[in-house]
Amino acid sequence: MNATRIGYALLIVLALVAPLFAYPVFLMKALCFALFACAFNLLLGYAGLMSFGHAMFFGMAGYFYGHVVKAWNLAPEAGLLAGVAGAALLGLVTGALAIRRQGIYFAMITLAFAQMVYFFCIQAPFTGGEDGLQGIPRTALLGGLIPIKDDKVLYYVVLAIFLFGYAAIYRTIHSPFGQVLKAIRDNEQRAKSLGYEADRYKLLAFVLSAALAGLAGATKAMVQQFATLTDVAASTSGEVVLMALVGGLGTIIGPVVGAFIIVTMQNYLAFTGEFVLVIQGAIFVVIVLAFRKGVVGELADWWKRRQAR
């Protein structure tokens, strides 16, 4: 356990000094996706529910944030709150319907709802259609105390938001609630026979995951000052699955690692255009066939084997 603590301490120090040698906007984008992937992993890795429509929470929260901050001229805090609350509400409605089916159907239903939200966003007046919401102002946080116009300042705000989200997920997983979730994931019938109302637990996990994905999406809109259709599209839902998968499903730090790998890759391969998709697809295939535990899972296994020797 001590090694884990030292590891976390090192990572936090690294995160604190990172803007000195990396571009803050890139780091913030990666942190947003990392939180998004963690939220997704809370659902798949710990509740065994595979949502293939998480972009709807991520993207819609961005729109909510943009609308509240730009059209209503409210503070960014209100925007973040609106993003989280909106995503949670959307999660409640879609989750309540989706958990009526199990397994692969669950994935297809969430995917279909996300597509419905996508079509809605193309047509709805407040999303700006194909153009999206642009030029969302970066007004200061805490009534003027924290000027987030400066990227370096905003970076620490985003880092704080990320750590808050990560801590919330960590607490959830290690709480009695998290234990019940794992029990349901491993054997739903048995959990039910022990008196746990599986559906209620699943729905709560779904709403929680949606709210955290919303937090990530709203934060991303705050950073990039725009909200677009890309963030609600099915491709984004696929990306977050890929991030969690690359990092390691069911490991708490895995999705963070996966998000950084994928965002970095997209950054460096952006010049190849459509080829990014081909490479992402190929990674999916390779991971599913050969490295189902992901980077963190495989490393942990290797470490365990080493210890055992």
Question: Under the rule (CB under 8 A), what is the footprint of another protein?
Answer: 50, 52, 97-98, 100-101, 103-105, 107-109, 111-113, 115-116, 119-120, 122-123, 234, 238, 241, 245, 273-278, 280-285, 288-289, 292
- Which amino acid is located at 81 in the chain? L
Residue 299 CB neighbour total at 10 angstroms: 15
| Residue 50 DSSP SS3 | coil
Only one residue has tokens 């090192």, namely: 10
| Comparison of 94 and 219: residue with beta carbon closer to another protein | 94
Sign of CA dihedral 246, 40, 225, 137: negative
What span, in angstroms and rounded, lies between the C-alpha atoms of 266 and 168?
A: 28
Torsion of CA 146, 147, 152, 156, to 10 degrees: 20
Which residues fall within 8 angstroms of residue 11, CB to CB, at 6 or more apart?
Answer: none
Which of 234, 289, 243 lies closest to 262 in space, CA to CA?
Answer: 243
Alpha helices in 48-150 (DSSP H): 55-66, 76-98, 103-123
Which of 66, 97, 93, 98 lies closest to 79 in space, CA to CA?
Answer: 66
What span, in angstroms and rounded, lies between the C-alpha atoms of 163 and 166?
A: 5
Min dist CB 50 to another protein, Å, is 5
What span, in angstroms and rounded, lies between the C-alpha atoms of 40 and 229?
A: 20
Q: Residues 247, 294: contact at Cβ < 8 Å?
A: yes
Only one residue has tokens 């700006």, namely: 128
What span, in angstroms and rounded, lies between the C-alpha atoms of 212 and 217?
A: 9
